[in-house]
Structure 1
Amino acid sequence: MTVVRSLLLFVLAALAEIGGAWLIWQGWRENRGLWWIAAGVVALGAYGFVATLQPDPNFGRILAAYGGVFVAGSLAWAMVFDRFRPDRWDLIGAAICLIGVAVIMYAPRTAP
C-alpha cells in the first residue's frame, strides 16, 4: 500500500507542477491573462506541499525520483493539452526515467 500511495502522490505532484507551469505559460506566452498566471502560481505552491506527503523521509531521494515522473508526465501532458506527438526517443527516454524512479524509490534497502 505504501508504494501505491507514493505513486499516487507522484502523479498528484506532477499534475500540480506541470499544470501550474502550463498555466503560467498560457497566461504569459499565449496572452491569456493574469488569472491563468495566478492559477499557475497556486498550483505550483500546491506541488511543494504534495511532496511532503511522501512516506520516505529523505527530501533528496523524493526530489530525485520525482524528476523521472516529471519527465514522463511532461510528455503525457503535452500529448493531451498541446497535441504533441512524442517520437520513439522521447518514449524511450521517459521509460528510462521511470525505471530510475522505481530503482531510487522502491529498491529494497537494508537499514544502516
Structure 2
Amino acid sequence: MTVVRSVVLFLLAALAEIGGAWLIWQGWREHRGLWWIAAGVLALGAYGFVATFQPDPNFGRILAAYGGVFVAASLAWGMAVDGFRPDRWDLLGAALCLAGVAVIMYAPRTS
C-alpha cells in the first residue's frame, strides 16, 4: 500500500508541477493573460505541498526520484495536451528515468 500511495503522490505532483508550468507558459507565451499565470503559480505551490506527503522522510531522495517521474510525465503531458509524438529515444529515456525512480524509492534498504 505504501508503494501505491507513493506512486499516486508522484502522479499528483507531476500533474500540479507540469500543469502549473503549462498554465504559466500559456498565460505568458500564448498571451492568455494573468489569470492563467496566477492559476499556474497556485498549481506550482500545490506541487510543493504534495511532495511533503510522500512516506519517505528524505527530501533529497523524494526530489531525485520525482525528477525521473517529471521526465516521463512531461512527455505524456506533451502527447495528451500539445500533440507531441515522442520517438523511440524519448521513450527509452523515460523508461530509464522510471527505472531510476524504482531503484531510488523502492529498493530494499537496511537501516
| Band of TM-score, shorter chain | over 0.9
1:52 partnered with 2:58:
no
Q: CA RMSD in A?
A: 0.2
Provide the rounded CA distance (Å) in 2 between the counterparts of 1:77 and 1:28.
19
Look up the match of 1:70.
70
5+ long unaligned stretches in structure 2:
none
Map 1:1-112 → 2, pairs under 5 A: 1-111=1-111
Q: Partner letter of residue 27 of structure 1?
A: G
* 1:56-104 deviations in Å (ceiling 9; x for gaps): 0000000000000000000000000000000000000000000000000
| Structure 1 residue 31, shift from structure 2 partner | 0.4
Provide the rounded CA distance (Å) in 2 between the counterparts of 1:59 and 1:29.
32
| Structure 1 residue 47, shift from structure 2 partner | 0.1
Matched pairs, number: 111
5+ long unaligned stretches in structure 1:
none
Q: Partner letter of residue 7 of structure 2?
A: L
Normalised by the length of structure 1, the TM-score is 0.99
Provide the rounded CA distance (Å) in 2 between the counterparts of 1:35 and 1:75.
25
Q: Secondary structure at the match of 1:53?
A: coil
After TM superposition, the runs of 4+ consecutive aligned structure 1 residues lying more than 4 A away are none
| Structure 1 residue 51, shift from structure 2 partner | 0.3
